[in-house]
Amino acid sequence: SSGAWFSEVSAVCPGQSFSLEIEKVLYHKRSLYQDVLVFQSKTYGRVLALDGMIQVTERDEFAYQEMLAHLPMFSHPSPHKVLIVGGGDGGILREVLKHEAVETVVQCEIDADVVSVSKEWLPFLSSSFQHPKLHLHIGDGFEFLKNHPAEFDVIITDSSDPIGPAESLFGEGYFQLLAQALRPHGLVALQGESVWLHLELIKSMTASCRKWFPVVEYAWSSVPSYPSGQIGYILCSSNHDTHFRRPLRHIEAPQLATWNLRYYDADVHAAAFVLPKFASENLSSS
């Protein structure tokens, strides 16, 4: 062990700092957009940090990837065409492609270096970048959406935090573009931050989403390496009849083993929408 520690110090989570012991730094460079760091940690496997914020660790990445991908995917009856905005490590893509209904995945990631670094250092996440159903576009998700009206069944935004290159993906202008890029009955899922740290941000995001979508819900999961150990998912539907709390589809038993799920199942899906009182009082639509 090097005896060195990585500590998250950021305005995203002021006054606190989560730390991991570093075994070896594998990659550290500034890309066009941000500081990109990959290290081997002592107890969480490989870790990707962007601008000093942990994006994934090998130990707990499945909790985030499975929930952000499968909550919307199992809430849509037939998700044929899916857009991933961000998600440059490839984890959401890996999960989305498990759904047989998917014919095309378009992914728009702003930072080509995140994709290439993930291909080289994070193979457990990036294994699907060669998939024939994928159309990978390197560019700004906000700008991309302006040119793709009424095209997608499901749009998943796997962003970093609102300070840095992902800032535009947290505002009302972006939610309007998402609503316009959906096919009829389309759904959206967004990285929704932590109720312990970002309740005001989540309140304003869900209120803005409600201007563009008739159904908006917040679900959550535990992810120990994210600030406060909890992260949320904002789910929006353009269909009044969507009930996010009940998955519409289930995995057939023979396929279940090949999906290799470690966090998500139908019970976890339903339970994810049950919020502690301080959060539900702030986030309910009524």
Least distance to ligand PUT, CB of residue 100, Å:
26
User: Between 70 and 238, whose beta carbon lies closer to ligand PUT?
Assistant: 70
C-beta of 53 vs 275, nearer to ligand PUT: 53
Q: Which of 60, 89, 113, 158 is catalytic?
A: 158
DSSP for 134-182, written as a single string = EEEEES-HHHHHHT-TT-EEEEEEE---TTTTTGGGGSHHHHHHHHHHE
State yes or no: is 158 an active-site residue: yes
* Cβ burial, residue 83 (10 Å; 0-12/13-18/19+): buried
Cβ nearer to ligand PUT, comparing 105 with 189: 189
Tell me how far CA of residue 54 lies from CA of 20, 72, 126, 144, 264, in angstroms.
10, 24, 17, 26, 22
CB of 188 to ligand PUT, least distance (A): 16
For the bound state, the minimum distance from the C-beta of residue 226 to ligand PUT, rounded and expressed in Å, comes to 5
Q: How far apart are CA 19 and CA 231, in angstroms?
A: 17
In the complex, which residues of this chain contact ligand PUT (CB under 6 A)?
53, 55, 158-161, 191, 226
Which of 107, 238 has the CB closer to ligand PUT?
107
CB within 8 A of 215, min separation 6: which ones?
235, 236, 237, 239, 240, 242, 244
Closest approach, Cβ 230 to ligand PUT, in A, equals 11
Cα 280 to Cα 284: distance, rounded to the nearest angstrom: 6
Minimal CB distance residue for ligand PUT? 55
- Backbone dihedral angles phi then psi of residue 41, each to the nearest 5 degrees: -95, 170
Active site residues: 158
